[in-house]
Structure 1
Amino acid sequence: MNVFSSAAPELDLNALFDHASIGIMVTDEDGYIIKANPFLLKMFGYELTELAGNKIEVLVPATHRGNHAAKRNKYMAHPEKRMMGNGVEFEAVKKSGELFCVDVSLSPHFQNGNKYVTAFINDITLRKKAESDLLEVKAKDLIMEVNLLREMQLNELKSKFVSMASHEFRLPLSAILSSSYLISQYGQKGNFEQQEKHVNKIQHAVSLLTGILNNFLSIEKIEGGKIEPSFSEVTVTDYLTNIIEEINPLTSPGQALIYEHTGDPTLQTDIVLLRHIMTNLLSNAVKFSPKNENVYLFSECTGTKVEIRVVDHGIGIPAEAQANIFDRFFRAANSASIQGTGLGLSIIASYVKLLKGSITFESEEGKGTTFILTFANKPAR
């Protein structure tokens, strides 16, 4: 059976227009409203007599009318069907002044030599609210996930700290305990040379414990955003020579720290943060180098850039460990027998970032390591 046969009753298209559950409006090529159905009039709060003869911009917020008119003229120059739901959404305004979002479909047509556009308009306020509510729920879920991840990371850090502390604290504390006992024994015998030896051991052990605690204080300050660099000008050679003098007592017999500088004599930096960085890198270079192997420090300054290199010929970093060398608590397998917390490089990487610089390294296991620091000499304040 042909449902479109000529015997079928003729549809009343005006009835479809009048009873449609979507806003329908007809405008001419200049944007003047010709016709609007009851659903649209109710949506915007107008009577037909109030809209007819006005341009469509009367339904657009005043701040957007000029822009909308330009877009309308551009569309009329090359009119084409534009389906609803293609992402073209507009902000509209009711007679009462209330703003709301609409989705618009456009259909151009010609009649009696004139150009017209029929617009189908749908109020999407509820949909937008649902989308907003969904985004809010997703945002809350994301925040919960981030907080959960942070808590898991914190628990992991705590676990690693307990594991590290149980080992790293035990050695210096044992040294302090045994040396304090021996000091009392040697004191009774008047052996002051042995007493001084064990006093030095206690001082070294206390220094180790202080260093560990300072590392954790540094992490807390970095995490809390409590460190704000303060740049000042220093004489490069004097500054780095003083740091070398502090590290010299850590060198082994036959080992030396050798320093060379080229370029400009001055450097713009935060002297406290750079001191932490250099002290850590130089002490590591000394610690991980064998006896009789020198450690080298090179600095080069230009008007805009500073490069500092710390070079050793020590145990080096295994290739499989190099990707993790700046991770907290990470220690390469070949350094397990050498005392350390695995925090130093992580902290100095954060300090380098605060100074808006970069830190890289070149290393081969058994042949040594070169750490390279690069900074702008006059960083943006």
Structure 2
Amino acid sequence: MRILKTVLVVVLFICGFSIIDLLANEISTELKSYSVIDSLNDLSRDYSFVDNIKALKYANEALEQALEVDYKRGQAFAFRNMSSVYSSQDSYAESVDYINRALNIFEEIQDEEGIANCYISLGHTFDRLGEDSLSYEYHKKAYDFFQKTDNLNRKGITAHNFARAQFQLSQLETSKSLFQKALILSEESNNPQLSSSCLSYLGEIEFGLGRLDEAEKLFERSRNIFNDLGSDAQKYATMSSFYHLAMIYKADGNQKRMIEMLEKAIQIIDDFGFPYFINEVYNELIDYYYEVGDLEKVKINTQQYAEILTNLNQENLKDRTNIALDLIQSRDLEKVYTEKIRTSEINEKIVEANARVIKVLIFTSFFLAIFLIVIIYQFFRNKKNSAAIRSIYENAGTALVLLSNDGEIIKWNKFSNKLFGDSSEKLAGKNFFKEFISKESTLKPSDIENSYLNEYEITTSDGKTKEISVSCSRTFVNGSPFYVLFILDASEFKRLQRLNDFYQIILEKSNEIAKIGTWEMSYSSFLNEEMPIISSQVMEILEIDEVLPENMKEIKWTNFFNSEESIQKLMVVFEDATSKNQAFDIELNLVSYKGNDIWIRFIGSVEFLSKTDIRLFGTVQDITEVKTGIKLIEENLSREQELNKLKSRFISMASHEFRTPLATITTSVELIQMNLAKLALPNPQILDKHTLSVLNQVDRLEKTLDGILMLEKTIQGKIETTISTIELESFLNEVVENINLPGDERKPILNIESDLSELNTDPNLLHHIMENVISNSLKYSKGKESPIINVFQDMDNISIEIQDFGIGIPESDKSGMFNSFYRAKNTAGIKGTGLGLSIVKEFATLINVDIEIDSTEGEGTKVTLTLPLDLDTNRAN
């Protein structure tokens, strides 16, 4: 019995030791994986400012491995690094999306250092967006956190970033102090790249303050550090040093050293492809050689400048394409399937190991239970991994197509359904290249396997034409080869590329079309009346483009001014600009070299190269045609105003002159009627009829004159509004009761569906509007049923609908309803002047009433008046 217990204890000991050994191996493997992931993330972070492609490559590898072992911190740092790449490529929405993913994970695992690192990324993103205040806020948060830690490198980096944020906000003293602190920390942590950047920014601060000796020392230190760095070193700091050193030597009059620095900068641009300060460096060189008259070197440098810009644009486009593909292909299928095979091999080894353990513990039911638990655990873990692989494949954000060795379609993912307009089940077994590219295509997957990027135009199953970019990868499953196509829908990209090419051509022609050129001069040469350095476009504007170069020195800028007063005006502008260090923008009337009168817009800025050397530069735009057009418009406007005055005077005079004879006619007719009444004539009705007709026509003419005068006063702004409170129901009843049309006994039917008792408005103008509209509803519906007036209220307005069932308005006449003296073609035989609605429209505008007319010829007309409940608020809006 004792022997049996001893055997049992030994067996249990062996069993426990085996389990512990297995767990220890697993933990050790996981820790090694974590270390590799952290190293990949560190590499990605270090490359994020110098090589986006490398940074993205390491971030993708880190993310893939972190997802495999469920390492949260590794995943978060990978997302953060991807965010940095997106931000540097100006894809800010995606950048913020990835940084949010990282923040969520860091907050979940309560990793404050990770959160602080995310603040650094957000600071850089907002800096690129030009949101300097937000950039300052996030860099300060990161700085405050890392200053409490022992990490010298992160202390130095966050101090540098916070200093740069203050530099962007022109807080130069605090910025300078922080850059000095960051410099000390960079030297303690042996980070020469950070040291170089700090020295460069300190140099720019001293340079901006005019302390050129101090700036020179700092830029020289930064330049010397660059000599010890590799090609992946800080780029901005290097080019800043060479360019600013050149400007310092230029200010000191040391042109030899200036050219030496500029030539060295160009050599670095050529060797390393640095994009910083290219424009400044080449502009200085070209201007220098142009000034000394070396036109051959001007030509050579101009050609080099154009070639470098072209190459940089091409490299930029290539890098962006590579980055776009890498970002979309965040999961490399070849790795996924290789991992699947590797997982299968690991499982086989686990089974072998477990088999050995079973042999050892075959006599114990205890180990059998443990073994079953391990098997069950591994089963569910493998199942979970398989589901994850399938999910990654199906939900990938790009088209993934699996082909056989001959190019036959095996399967594709969900994204491909959208791209090709059909499911892979319907096309399985068909040749991909014949189906989508060309029926005569002889392409095979192996033909494009070694080519990085292949572009084709395809026709999808639903008949659409698309442009795609394809890369191909081969892998093996169970010894059989198959191919994975990574397909990007490049239709929109190509369209934008063509559009960009078009806009590039437009941009190149824009200065010529807009007649804009550039100029530059020193303040001393301005005082000496020397001509500035001007572009060919300015030479055309001043009409000196045909002057020989040797004769240009004889021309002074004062030659183009037509008076001493104009010269003094420009002198005052330049003196203000240099004394206050501010830009200027003026319009000048000049005389061209050929004696023609011209107008220019003269825009400029000031740059202090030293205490005695001041640079003035800017643009010149020919605005002669604009000025001529403005003058013509002003003359036409003046004539129009004079005509309006004459029209108003004529209307007033004509109205007065008409009213006197009309009054006389009215009086005379009334006297005739009185005398006729005294005479006992046999047929007085005939004379009464004629005298009444005369009075009616006089009344009609007076109403027309009243309408013309009222319309004219409204247009001239002579009608004043008087806002008061009216009782709505009694007001509407009064309007309806007082409307009487001769020979028409009908009255409109008034329905009020509102609890509102009072309304603020101008009662006189509203009365005129209502009277006119209601009169029209009766006049143009004679012999039909009575018009209906409906009044109802919503939250902000009172609406009054006047509905008649008369002749309506023809469709062709609706556009002119509010025009003066305009009448519809179906109103023949109905009295009217055509002024009513035009006056109504003007009055309605004065009291903020909206008018809507809905009419159908032969069926009737509905006029809707919408009155604001709060008149003052609506008028303000």
TM tier, shorter chain? 0.5 to 0.7
| Distance of 2:668 and 2:781 partners within structure 1 | 29
Check whether the contact 1:219–1:347 (CA below 8 A) recurs between aligned residues.
yes
Query: Which of the numbers 369, 373, 376 marks the counterpart of 2:865?
Result: 373
1:260 aligned onto 2:435: no
Q: Does 1:315 align with 2:813?
A: no
* Per-residue deviation, residues 209-266 of structure 1 (Å, max 9, x unmatched): 332122112122112212232222111111111111221x216445232111111122
Q: Is the 8 A contact 1:302 1:377 kept in 2?
A: no
Work out whether 1:352 is the aligned partner of 2:847.
no
2:279 equivalent among 50, 56, 81: 81
CA gap 1:231/1:89 in 2 versus in 1, 3 angstroms: farther
CA contact (8 A) 2:725 2:761 kept: yes
Q: 1:341 to 1:136 in 2, by over 3 A?
A: same
Q: Secondary structure at the match of 1:380?
A: helix
Say whether 1:233 aligns with 2:725.
Answer: yes
Which among 130, 141, 149 is matched to residue 632 of structure 2? 141
Match of 1:185 in 2: 676
1:85-127 per-position Cα deviation (integer Å, ceiling 9, x unaligned): 7999999755566976454799xxxxxxxxxxxx984365xx4
Corresponding residue to 1:29 among 189, 193, 204: 204
Q: What code does the residue aligned with 2:617 have?
A: N
| Aligned pairs, number | 292
Q: 2: CA distance between counterparts of 1:312 and 1:149?
A: 41
One-letter identity of the residue aligned with 2:680: K
- Structure 2 equivalent of residue 122 of structure 1: 617
- Larger relative helix fraction: 2
Q: Which residue of 1 aligns with 2:824?
A: 332
Q: How far did residue 361 of structure 1 move?
A: 0.6
Secondary structure at 1:347's aligned position in 2?
helix
Counterpart amino acid of 1:367? E
Q: Distance in 2 between matches of 1:276 and 1:88?
A: 62
Q: Root-mean-square deviation (CA), in Å?
A: 4.9
Whole-angstrom CA distance in 1 between matches of 2:747 and 2:681:
36
Q: C-alpha distance in 1, partners of 2:786/2:517?
A: 68
The answer to whether the 8 Å contact 1:258/1:297 transfers is yes
Per-residue deviation, 1:340: 1.4
Distance 1:78 1:269 in 2: 66
Provide the C-alpha distance between the structure 2 equivalents of 1:227 and 1:157, rounded to a whole number of angstroms: 14
The one-letter code of the counterpart of 1:227 is I
Q: For the structure 1 residues 173 and 148, does the alpha-carbon distance in structure 2 shift closer, same or farther, using more than 3 Å as the test?
A: same
Give the 3-state SS of the residue equivalent to 2:679 in structure 1.
helix
- TM-score, normalization: structure 1? 0.60
Contact in 1 for aligned 2:855/2:862 (Cα 8 Å): yes
For residues 109-152 of structure 1, the C-alpha deviation after alignment (integer angstroms, 9 at most, x for no partner) is xxxxxxxxxx984365xx47x64x76554323223334556778
Give the secondary structure class of the aligned counterpart of 1:189: coil
Q: Which residue pairs with 2:778 in the alignment? A: 286
Give the counterpart letter for 2:806 in structure 1: G
Structure 1's 293 and 148: CA in aligned 2 closer, same or farther, altered over 3 A?
A: farther
- Is residue 275 from structure 1 mapped to residue 767 from structure 2 by the alignment? yes
Counterpart position of 1:6:
none
- Contact 2:749–2:787, Cα closer than 8 Å, also in 1: yes
Q: Aligned residues: percent identity? A: 24
Distance 1:218 1:258 in 2: 30
2:838 corresponds to which letter in structure 1? S
Q: Check 1:221–1:359 CA distance in 2 against 1; reply closer, same or farther (3 A cut).
A: same
Report whether the alignment pairs 1:213 with 2:708. Answer: no
The whole-number CA distance in structure 2 between the counterparts of 1:299 and 1:253 is 24
Alpha-carbon separation, structure 2, partners of 1:342 and 1:180: 32
Query: Of the two, which has the highest radius of gyration?
Result: 2
CA apart distance, 1:334: 1.0
- The 2-side partners of 1:232 and 1:89 are apart by 63
Query: Secondary structure in 1 aligned to 2:718?
Result: coil
Query: What is the distance in 2 between the residues matched to 1:272 and 1:80?
Result: 72
Amino acid across the alignment from 1:257: P
Alignment of 1:1-80 (within 5 A): 29-30=204-205, 31-32=207-208, 79=277
Q: Letter of the aligned partner of 1:235 in structure 2?
A: E
- Mark the CA change 1:234 to 1:201 in structure 2 (over 3 Å): closer, same or farther: farther
CA distance in 2, matches of 1:215, 1:256: 25
CA distance in 2, matches of 1:308, 1:225: 26
Q: Deviations over 1:143-183 (max 9, x none)?
A: 333455677889999999xxxxxxxxxx9999998786455
Aligned with residue 716 of structure 2, among 199, 224, 240: 224
8 Å CA contact retained: 1:256, 1:293: no
Q: Distance in 2 between matches of 1:333 and 1:255?
A: 25
- DSSP-derived class of the 1:370 partner: strand
Is 2:805–2:860's contact at 8 Å kept on the other side of the alignment?
Answer: yes
Structure with bigger strand share is: 1
The 3-state SS of whatever aligns with 2:676 is helix
* 1:308-365 deviation digits (Å, cap 9, x = unpaired): 1111111111100001110111111111322211111011101111111211111111
Distance change >3 Å, CA 280–CA 226, structure 1 → 2: same
State whether residues 851 and 866 of structure 2, in contact with CA within 8 Å, keep that contact through their aligned partners in structure 1.
yes
- Counterpart CA distance in 2 for 1:140 and 1:312 is 52
Give distance in 1, aligned partners of 2:664 and 2:748: 30
Amino acid at match of 1:274: L
Q: Residues 239, 99 of structure 1: CA spacing in aligned structure 2 closer, same or farther, 3 A cutoff?
A: same
SS for the counterpart of 1:221 is helix
Q: Go from structure 1 to structure 2 and tell me whether the alpha carbon gap of 1:349 and 1:172 turns closer, same or farther (over 3 Å shift).
A: farther
**Corresponding letter in the other structure for 2:679:** Q
Partner of 1:363: 855
Aligned AA for 1:122?
A: F
- Distance in 2 separating the partners of 1:233 and 1:121: 65
Q: Which runs of 5+ in 1 are unaligned?
A: 1-27, 36-47, 53-76, 107-118, 161-170
Change (3 A) 1:177 1:322: farther
**Aligned residues of 1:259 and 1:298 also touching (Cα < 8 A):** yes
Q: Does 1:250 align with 2:744?
A: no
The residue correspondences of 1:101-180 to structure 2 (distance < 5 A) are: 101=584, 103=604, 121-122=616-617, 127=620, 131=623, 135-148=626-639
Q: Distance in 1 between matches of 2:663 and 2:790?
A: 33
Please state whether the residue corresponding to 2:808 is helix, strand or coil: coil
TM-score, normalised relative to structure 2: 0.29
- Cα contact 2:648–2:712 (8 A) shared by 1: no
Distance (Å, rounded) in 1 between the aligned partners of 2:650 and 2:824: 19
Query: 8 Å contact 1:100–1:123 — kept in the other structure?
Result: no
For residues 319 and 154 of structure 1, what CA distance do their matches in structure 2 show?
36
- Which region of structure 1 is more displaced relative to structure 2, 142-151 or 97-106? 97-106
Rounded Cα–Cα distance in structure 2 between residues aligned with 1:156 and 1:352: 24
